Amino acid sequence: MVTFIARRLVVSVLLLLGAAFIMYQLTALAGDPLEEFYQSRLPNKNQLIAARTEALQLNVPAPLRFFLWLGGAAKCIIPFANQCDLGLTAQGQKVTDLLPQALGSTIQLVTAATVLAIVIGITIGIVSALRQYTTFDFVMTFVSFLLYSLPSFWVGILLKEFVAIRFNDFLGDPQLGPVWIAVISIVVGLIWLGLIGGELRRRVTVFLVSALATAAVLIYFSLTDWFLHPNLGPVLMLILSAGVALVMTALMAGLKNRRAMLTAGIQVVLAMICYFALQPLLNISSIYTILILALVTIAVGLLTGFLVGGPDRGLNMRVGAFTAALSAGLILVDRFMQAWPSYLGESAINGRPIATVGSQTPNLPGDIWIHGVDSFTHLLLPTLTLMLIGFAGYTRFSRAGMLDVLNQDYIRTARAKGMPERVVIVRHAFRNSLIPIATIVASDFGALLGGAIITEQVFAFSGMGALFQRGISLPDPNPVMGYFVVIAVMVIVFNFIADMTYSALDPRVRTRG
C-alpha cells in the first residue's frame, strides 16, 4: 500500500510538471502581449513597450521563462515559509493575492450548484431507474438530455429574462391569473403522479390531490400577497416538519419502526417549541449563533435517538439527527422569509429582489437575515444555470448504476428472502450503486474550482474563470499558471482520494505490493 501511494505521488508530481510546462508554452504562444501598443499614437509608446517587455520578461524565450516561474512557484512547497511566489500580473498585482479572491468567488458560485445537482440528479436518477420505461422515466430522460445540451450563456440569459426581470415585474402586482394557477397545478400534479406511480386509480387520486392542493396554495398566496410577505407560519411549519419526520423514518427505518417514529416525532415537537421560543434569539443572531444552534440541534437529535433507541441506537440516532437538522432548517427558512419584506423595501433593492449580476448588493445595511436573502437573490440564477446543466449527468449515471445493481443476483436473493422492498432498495441496491457515482463526484469536485468561465462572465462573478480568461487574452502567463496550479493540484488530489476510496471500498481493486 505504501509503495502504491508513493508511486502515485511521484507520477502525479511528474505529471504536474509536464502539464505546467505545456500550459505555460501554450499561454505564451496564445498571442502578443504588446499588441495594444502597436495601435497607439502616443509619442512614448516605445517606452511602454519596453516597460511591458521588462515586466513580463518577454526578452526571455518562453521555454526558459517557464523555469523562472517554476523557481518562484517551487517556494510554495516549503510549508509555513510564506514565500510562495507565483509572479505578478501585467498590472503588477501578485498572483498569490488574486487567487484567494478568485477562489472565494468561484466557491461561492459553484458549491450550492454542485451539491444541488448531485442530490437532485441522484434522486431523479434512482426514481427513474425504479420506474424504468414509465412515462416519468422517458420524460426525465428527455429533460436531462435537453438540459445537458443547452449552452450555459443561453440558459443564463433566459433565466435573467424570466426568473429575474419578469418575476421582479410580477412582484409589482403579485396576482397570479387563473390560467397560471391552472397550468402550474397541472404540471405539479403530473410530476407527483410520475414520482409515485402505481395503478390507474392511485394515479388519478395522486394527480387530483396534488393538483388541487397546489391550486389551493397558489390561490391563498395570491389573495394574501404572500410573495411580498412570505412565511411558513405555524400550520405549514407543523405540516412540513411532520412530513420531514415521516419521510426520514420511512427511508431510514421503515414506518413500522415505532422507536424511530417516536424519535422523529420528538424532533417535530422540539422544532415547534423552538419555532416559537427562539424567534427573539434569532432576531439578534450572528452567524456564530446559528452555527452553535446547528451543532446543538444535531446533538439533540443524536441524544434523543440514543435515549429512545433501545436496541437499535445507531439507526435512531441517525433518524433523530436528520429530522432535527431538516426541521431546524425549516425554522431558518421561515426566518429568512420574515426578512423578505424589509429586504424588498431597501432603497438599493427598490422592490426588485432577484439580481442578474454580482454576488451582493453594494453597501446593503441590515442583519444576517437581510444579507442571507441578498446572497440568495444573487446566487439564485447562476446556481440554477449551473445546476440545470450539471444535474443531467448525475441523473444518467445514477439511473444506469441503479439499474445495473437491481439486476444483480444478490438483489433477487434479498427479495426472495422476503426482505421489505425498502430495505432491498435503500440498503442493498442504493449503497452499491453509489460506488461508480463516487468516481464522478470526486472528479467533479476536483474540477469545481476550475470555475465556470462562461457562467461567471454572464453573471459578472469574477472568479477563477475570469482570472484564466483575462490572463489568456493578453496573454499574461502568470495568472493563467496560478489558475492552472490550483486546478491541477485539486484534480490530482481528488483522483488520488477516489483511488484510495476504491481500494478501501472494494477489495477487488486493491493492488498488491
Partner 1 sequence: MKFRRIGAPIAVAAIAAMAVTGCTTTNETPSTTTGGTITVAEVNEVTSFNPNTPQGNLDMNAKLTGYTRSGFFYLDDKLNIIPDKSFGTVEKTSDDPLTVKYTLAKTATWSDGTPVTADDMMLAWAVQSGFFNDSTTDADGNVTSGTTYFDYAGDTSGLGLADKPVVGDDNTSITLTYSEPYADWQLINPIDAPAHVVADHAGVALKDVMSAMQTMPRGDAAKPAAPNDALKTFADFWNTGFDATSLPTDKTLYLSSAGMVLDSWVPKQSITLVRNPDYKGDLKPKVDKIVVRFIGDAQAQVTALQNGEVDIINPQASADTIKSLEALKNVTTLTGNQFSYDHLDISFNTKVFKDANVRKAFLMTVPRQQILDAIVTPQNPDATLDDSQLFFPGTDAYDAAIKVNGSSAYDKVDIDGAKALLAGATPEVRVLYNTKNPNRVASFQALQASAAKAGFKVIDGGAENWGSLLGSGTYDASIFGWISSGVGVAGVPQIFSTKGGGNYSGYSNAQVDSLAKQLQVTLDKKAQDDIQTQIDTLLWGDGYGVPLFVAPGVMANSNNVTGVVYYPGQAGVGWNYWEWAKK
Near partner 1 in 49-68, by CB under 8 A = 49-55, 58-59
Using CB under 8 A as the binding rule, whether residue 160 contacts partner 1 is answered as yes
CA distance 245 to 316: 12
Q: Which of 177, 347, 416, 507 lies at the binding interface for partner 1 (CB under 8 A)?
A: 347
Q: Quote the cell numbers at residue 63.
A: 521555454
Q: Quote the cell numbers at residue 329.
A: 432548517
Q: Which of 6, 13, 40, 310 lies at the binding interface for partner 1 (CB under 8 A)?
A: 40
Binding segment toward partner 1, per CB under 8 A, in 254-262, 435-443, 456-464, 494-502? 456-464
Q: Which of 289, 439, 443, 495 lies at the binding interface for partner 1 (CB under 8 A)?
A: 289
**CA-closest candidate to residue 214, choices 166, 256, 176:** 176
Using CB under 8 A as the binding rule, whether residue 157 contacts partner 1 is answered as yes
Question: With respect to partner 1, which residue has the nearer C-beta, 37 or 376?
Answer: 37
> End-to-end distance of the chain based on CA atoms, in angstroms?
6
Task: Look up residue 177 and give its amino acid.
Answer: G
Binding segment toward partner 1, per CB under 8 A, in 125-133, 186-194, 267-275, 350-358? 350-358
Q: Which of 231, 342, 375, 495 lies at the binding interface for partner 1 (CB under 8 A)?
A: 342
Binding segment toward partner 1, per CB under 8 A, in 189-197, 250-258, 423-431, 462-470? 462-470
367 C-beta neighbours (distance < 10 Å), count: 14
Q: Which of 16, 19, 26, 48 lies at the binding interface for partner 1 (CB under 8 A)?
A: 48
Task: Look up residue 444 and give its amino acid.
Answer: D
CA distance 322 to 89: 47
Question: With respect to partner 1, which residue has the nearer C-beta, 225 or 367?
Answer: 367
Q: Which of 288, 418, 512, 513 lies at the binding interface for partner 1 (CB under 8 A)?
A: 288
* Residue pair 394/121 in contact by the 8 Å Cβ criterion: yes
Binding segment toward partner 1, per CB under 8 A, in 124-132, 174-182, 219-227, 359-367? 359-367
**Cα 217 to the center of its chain, rounded Å:** 28
Question: With respect to partner 1, which residue has the nearer C-beta, 327 or 361?
Answer: 361
Q: Which of 13, 281, 504, 509 lies at the binding interface for partner 1 (CB under 8 A)?
A: 281
17 C-beta neighbours (distance < 10 Å), count: 12
Using CB under 8 A as the binding rule, whether residue 375 contacts partner 1 is answered as no
Q: Which positions from 17 through 36 interact with partner 1, judged by CB under 8 A?
A: 31-32, 34-35
Q: Which positions from 85 through 114 interact with partner 1, judged by CB under 8 A?
A: 88, 90-94, 97-98, 101-102, 105
Minimum distance of partner 1 from residue 303's CB (angstroms): 6
450 membership: H or E segment, kind and range: none
Q: Which of 9, 68, 78, 357 lies at the binding interface for partner 1 (CB under 8 A)?
A: 357
Q: Which positions from 196 through 225 interact with partner 1, judged by CB under 8 A?
A: none
Using CB under 8 A as the binding rule, whether residue 316 contacts partner 1 is answered as no
Number of residues that bind partner 1 (CB under 8 A): 79
Minimum distance of partner 1 from residue 49's CB (angstroms): 8
Using CB under 8 A as the binding rule, whether residue 279 contacts partner 1 is answered as no
CA distance 353 to 227: 11
Q: Which positions from 66 through 85 interact with partner 1, judged by CB under 8 A?
A: none
CA distance 15 to 17: 5
* Residue pair 146/214 in contact by the 8 Å Cβ criterion: no
Using CB under 8 A as the binding rule, whether residue 275 contacts partner 1 is answered as no
Distances 436 to 65, 122, 123, 398, 439 between C-alpha atoms, Å: 42, 12, 15, 8, 5
Question: With respect to partner 1, which residue has the nearer C-beta, 309 or 393?
Answer: 309
Using CB under 8 A as the binding rule, whether residue 284 contacts partner 1 is answered as yes
Distances 377 to 159, 294, 367 between C-alpha atoms, Å: 13, 23, 16
Question: With respect to partner 1, which residue has the nearer C-beta, 371 or 422?
Answer: 371
Contacts of 380 (CB under 8 A, 6+ apart): 163, 354
Q: Which of 256, 365, 421, 506 lies at the binding interface for partner 1 (CB under 8 A)?
A: 365
**CA-closest candidate to residue 168, choices 343, 341, 352, 349:** 352
Minimum distance of partner 1 from residue 80's CB (angstroms): 23
Q: Quote the cell numbers at residue 79.
A: 510549508
Q: Which of 443, 457, 495, 501 lies at the binding interface for partner 1 (CB under 8 A)?
A: 457
CA distance 336 to 225: 17
* Residue pair 485/73 in contact by the 8 Å Cβ criterion: yes
Using CB under 8 A as the binding rule, whether residue 478 contacts partner 1 is answered as no
Longest distance between any two alpha carbons in the chain, whole Å: 89
Site track for partner 1 across 113-152, x = CB under 8 A: ----------------------------------------
DSSP state of 163: I
User: Crossing angle for the helix pair 287-308 and 258-277, nearest 10 degrees?
Assistant: 150
Question: With respect to partner 1, which residue has the nearer C-beta, 284 or 416?
Answer: 284
Q: Which of 305, 309, 401, 463 lies at the binding interface for partner 1 (CB under 8 A)?
A: 463
Phi, psi of 341 (to 5 degrees): -60, -40
Contacts of 241 (CB under 8 A, 6+ apart): 267, 268, 271, 272, 323, 326, 327, 330
Q: Which positions from 390 through 429 interact with partner 1, judged by CB under 8 A?
A: none
Using CB under 8 A as the binding rule, whether residue 360 contacts partner 1 is answered as yes
Q: Which of 172, 177, 362, 513 lies at the binding interface for partner 1 (CB under 8 A)?
A: 362
